[in-house]
Amino acid sequence: MILRPLAPLRDGSPASGRKLLPAWDVVQEIQKRKYESCWMITQPSHAALAGDIAAKLSGPQFPKLDAGLVRAIAMHDAGWGMPDAQSVQMSRATRGFQPHSFVEMTVVDFLAAWTQSIEVAQTVSPAGGYIVSRHFWRLAEHRLKFAKDTEKECKQLQDFFSAESQRQTKLAAKQKCSAQELEAFTHVLQLCDLLSLYFCSGAQDSVELPEFFDAKIQINMEAGGYRLEPAIIPSGTEFAVAALRYPVTKEVSGMEISIRIC
């Protein structure tokens, strides 16, 4: 689940002169807050937005994605469907229930969701399954290097890491793309994933993304929406993502959040 404040965390003033923050740090800080009320965006909805973003990427630096790869990106968090649905149900049925962001999930829970997500993606295409596997493989690798997990949790991550390495070898052999092309497609997934997380979280801080395709993309909030530099999504593009209110009220249960690129 992605949590989004009901109101902006800052006043939306012009971005000139504002310090650029790491995009993931901003997303993580928003997700670690405790909210008496907020919007809830499910992981599958966030993934669908990532797929919409992938379909709109513009620039010679990006590899051409076929429909299967775009669909795999749009389904890369399918494994979170049931846990998120249960959280939504609990938020409606249980007084005092507090929804939890994906950043607070246990290792065993997110590994189960990752594995199911990969299994769904590989039904789309071998290449689609590969890039989703590779995406979570990279996340596991990063966590093993930098997180302070228990010995048991580290073993679980290592087992996942090993199993997905084997899966990637099998999936790579079932499709025609080169290893270099598959790595580039995985970069696209990770770029679209982070962009979607930033938009879904309601962040308005000026941020810089890690380097993708030899460029560090900057995002600034302006009166008309988000401005990306370089302009990797055409100006005027609009996206939408479904959000549910926590706690639900008689007046408002959910809404469609619009995201506009300047």
Write phi, then psi, for 39 (nearest 5 degrees): -95, 145
For residue 180, is pLDDT > 70? yes
pLDDT value at residue 260: 98
Torsion, Cα of 171, 57, 68, 210 (10° steps):
30
* pTM metric for this prediction: 0.95
Q: What is the 3-state secondary structure of 107-154?
A: HHHHHHHHHHHHHHHHHHCHHHHHHHHHHHHHHHHHHHHHCCCCHHHH
Q: pLDDT at position 231, please?
A: 96
**What pLDDT does residue 13 have?**
43
- In whole angstroms, give the CA distance from residue 253 to residue 214: 42
Please tell me the predicted confidence (pLDDT) of residue 147.
Answer: 85
pLDDT at 9: 64
The residue with tokens 């401005």 is 227
pLDDT at 71: 98
Residue 27 CA to its chain's centroid (Å): 10
Euclidean distance between CA atoms 42 and 201, whole angstroms:
11
Q: Is the pLDDT of residue 8 over 50?
A: yes
Q: Please give the structure tokens belonging to residue 228.
A: 């990306």
pLDDT tens-digit series, residues 209-245: 999 999 999 999 998 899 999 999 999 999 999 999 9
What's phi and psi for 259, nearest 5 deg?
-125, 120
